[in-house]
Amino acid sequence: MDATTEALQDDAGTFPHLDRDTSNCSIARTLEVVGEKWTILILREVWYGSSRFSEFERVLGCPRNLLAARLKMLVEEGILATETYQEPGSRSRPKYVITPKGADLVPAVMGLLQWGDRYRADPEGPAMLSRHRGCGAHVDAQIRCDQGHAVQPEDIESIPGPAFRLRPAE
């Protein structure tokens, strides 16, 4: 940890957050990849079991050109990978499967899912439920610290990290 970072961290809570350079924000960078329309919904369908172009098209009702563009981007980003499948009597064709990098998006998507379940579900409840395979208990996304404590949003402290930078003067 360099001296600048150290100094800023000592000042945690009162660091100059309004003057920081926000171009290297991890939230913004994740949204550059998954923030476009259809992208997260494609991933949702992957974990519900779809893998073929025609399946995504059918269940999402999304334009083919956008679907092709999003799938291509997800493969280029390493979130999906292509494999091949072959129906009897047909030639082999590509299908899309999740990679470990893609699976690491699950906590974020679970977070969106459970917020929608809580605040925007139909009166009778959610359309889909998630449970732990085997134990069968309901699962959800939650925040924990490395000591194993459950953490409430108001007990999260955000402090400058190693790549913290101030905005260049205008």
Q: Do residues 143 and 153 touch, judged by C-beta distance below 8 A? A: yes
Among DNA, a copy of itself, none, partner that 22 touches (CB below 5 to 8 angstroms by kind): a copy of itself
Nearest approach in angstroms of CB 81 to a copy of itself is 15
Q: 120 CB contacts (<8 Å, ≥6 apart)?
A: none
Indicate the residue among 60 and 141 with the shorter CB distance to DNA.
60
Question: Under rule CB under 7 A, which residues in 75-94 are in contact with DNA?
Answer: 88-94
Q: 8 CB contacts (<8 Å, ≥6 apart)?
A: 15, 159, 160, 164
Burial environment of residue 33 by CB neighbours within 10 A (0 to 12, 13 to 18, 19 or more): middle
Size of the site for DNA (CB under 7 A): 25
Only segment of 11-19, 64-72, 136-144, 145-153 that touches DNA (CB under 7 A):
64-72
Q: Do residues 71 and 123 touch, judged by C-beta distance below 8 A? A: no
Question: Under rule CB under 7 A, which residues in 3-62 are in contact with DNA?
Answer: 36-38, 52-55, 61-62
Where does this chain bind DNA (CB under 7 A)? 36-38, 52-55, 61-66, 68-69, 71-72, 88-95
